[in-house]
Amino acid sequence: SKSSDDILKCASLQKGLILAAIDLVNAFSKTGGYIVYSTCSISVAENEAVVDYALHKRDVKVVPCGLEFGCPGFTHFGEHQFHTSLVHARRFYPHAHNLDGFFVAKLKKL
């Protein structure tokens, strides 16, 4: 299990990684400039907060990921408000989906 400090350190690293991935993708490539961000975590700090950060820092949007199961990503959590497009992300919970907990978001570079 992770401590709060561990989660914040991971989230900081993940913010840098997602921005680097976005910067490496060509929006005009044959594959369309897509990035899939996925974690084996259900922590909002490592998931919606990281994607929301990328939405504010780069010209990308969250698009449907093509998974018809799972729960929608959060657009708000506690006092935090996230971009409304995060409903296209998917959360998976061990108790609900008989899987390890994880998160998936598909982003398109504009």
- Active-site positions read 40
Strand 90-92 relative to strand 80-81, pairing: unpaired
Residue that the structure tokens 């401590």 belong to: 3
- Cα torsion 85, 88, 93, 99 to 10°: value is -150
71 bridge partner residues:
91
Residue 34 φ then ψ, to 5°: -100, 145
